Amino acid sequence: MGLVTPGSIEDVRLVRKTEADRREYVEKLALIQAQRDIFRPEYKELEYLDFDVQLLWRCIDTCGECSRQPHRMKVLDWGLLELGRRQGGEAARDKLGEVSDLRTHEFRLFLGNFRLHLRNFGIIGLWYPKRLAQLALL
């Protein structure tokens, strides 16, 4: 896991999932629930979200990858996804657009990799305190 300061935010996108994505989710959930766990027999069913929120960003010191095109990563921040679950994907996208404004927020990304894909990283958390106004520092 790492904390990264983006150099620029290029875009915030809401990407709708397909019906095939929904079927795959249901099939995987059924396989997991079919396994027996003697320590925890109940399984909480997580609500399927029919969208992904993606952030397109560039590094402060341009890396080889983002010199050609910005990094495009799915945002897995719990608070943002819970907002999307309760109020819709557009609300989550709009909130990310608001807090990722580098003029108004000290925006940072918590990046983490995935157990089965160690070279793939995703945004697993956000940190976004408001910037202090210059006059407040005097």
Cβ(111)–Cβ(122) below 8 Å: yes
Picking from 33, 31, 25, 14, the residue whose alpha carbon sits closest to that of residue 89 is 14
Domain ranges of the chain: 2-16+52-137
Nearest C-alpha neighbor of 47 from the set 86, 73, 94, 96: 86
Question: Among 6-15, 18-27, 127-136, whose mean pLDDT is lowest?
Answer: 127-136
pLDDT of residue 134: 57
Give the percent of the chain with pLDDT over 90.
Answer: 62
* Res 41: pLDDT: 61
List CB contacts of 60: < 8 A, sequence separation 6 or more.
5, 6, 7
Q: What pLDDT is stored for residue 132 in this prediction?
A: 80
- Do 14 and 51 touch, CB atoms closer than 8 A? yes
Q: Which residue has the higher pLDDT, 138 or 18?
A: 18
